[in-house]
A = this chain, B = another copy of it.
Amino acid sequence: MVSEPKYIIIKNEIKQLILNGEYEVSSKIPSEAELKDKFNVSRHTIRQSIAELVNEGYLKKEQGSGTYVSNQYRLEQKDTSQKTIGVITTYLSDYIFPSIIRGIEDVLSKKGYALLLSSTQNNVENEKRSLEMMLEKRVDGLIIEPTKSANLNPNLNYYLGIQERGIPYVSINASYEELEAPEIRMDDRLASEKLTSHLLDLGHTRICMVTKTDDLQGKERMKGFVRAYSKINKAFDGNLMITFDTESIENLTKKIDRVLQLDNSPTAFVCYNDQIAVKVIERIQAIGKKIPQDISIVSHDNSFLSTATDVKLTSINHPKDQLGRDAANWIIQAIEKNSFKQDSIIYEPKLITRSSTSKNTEID
């Protein structure tokens, strides 16, 4: 029998030392130079031995520091090559989401990351499935737009599992209050406050708010509305608060119509977003009233819908594409610098004035 090559003999000898505890877990083993002298071989041979042990998970090397006994037996072979980022949003094709996803994809692909995509249709069951899929695919980071962010989320344990595994993640547009996750979003409360104040400044007093109640954005936007009133020490009419959620959106038209037929119907609307605004515009025009002469209307997000119809909406900006880019860069930073506790990014809202608002002409 031919004797085994030196580097195999040395490898086995070192392995023995590790296994019988001579080289303790997490401790530094002798340097390559020392081992070279000890075994009377070239450094190259030592490196060969150590390379195999590193590959098998017994050792870990740190440039400039030394070689250490690994504390985990081949825990997992970290796929060094291409990393994957998971992205979960409520919707994909609607509204501002394509721009957000595009921003994310653009940054990720330029940095050599793959993008695993999933949507929830704002349904927590789907969110669960998405999270399971992402975990199974072993994503290296997650960008999540929360589903039903205003409600208690039944998938919280999944998020905790993600944290436990050390997978960095960031919320966009909203976040779950129960988790202290970093978030990248618009300051929705201040945004709504600005919109409402704008209308109040124009002399409107009976302002109707139309907002969503099952996501945090809707709640925040409602809070902003309330705050604008309280800042000038006035109260708003509770009858002029229209709320809806993902499931009850079909009834929204009726609710709007009812408010428009009130004796003291509103002279202005603050809408949850441009999509809702378009709906409201349609109902206003259906009863023959004119915007902005009869009724003023404002909304959030400044999407393509803001200027798509004949009514050019006064709205609040939304970073969209930039938000996606920021989220992607955030998650890449978290992965590469291993820093999970990065800051949130909250965008400052800016009012974009168009022709959907005018002074209140009614006599008080």
Contacts and interface: CB of A to CB of B under 8 A. Distances in A.
Interface in A109-141: 109, 112, 114-119, 126, 129-130, 133, 136-137
Contact of A119 (B56, B80, B97, B109): B109
Given A82-B137, A92-B98, A310-B310, A129 B109 contact: yes
Given A102-B92, A102-B119, A119-B102, A133 B82 contact: yes
A117 B119 contact: no
Interface string A289-323: 00000000000000000001010000000000100
Contacts of A105: 92, 117-119
Interface bracket on A: 20 to 34
A118 B115 contact: yes
Contact of A55 (B55, B119, B133, B137): B55
A342 interface: no
Tell me the number of copies of this protein. 2
Contacts of A99: 93
A92 B105 CA distance: 9
Interface string A135-155: 011000000000000000000
Contacts of A114: 116, 118, 133, 137
Contacts of A93: 98-99, 101-102, 321
Contacts of A81: 56, 136
Interface in A40-58: 55-56
Nearest to A133: B114
Nearest to A309: B308
A107 B106 CA distance: 24
Contacts of A56: 80-81
A137 B321 CA distance: 26
A93 B303 CA distance: 13
A274 to B, nearest CB: 13
Nearest to A307: B308
A136 B84 CA distance: 11
B109 A118 contact: yes
B98 A137 contact: no
Contacts of A112: 133
Nearest to A113: B133
11 contacts: A80-B136, A92-B105, A93-B321, A101-B117, A102-B119, A105-B117, A105-B119, A106-B119, A114-B118, A115-B117, A308-B308
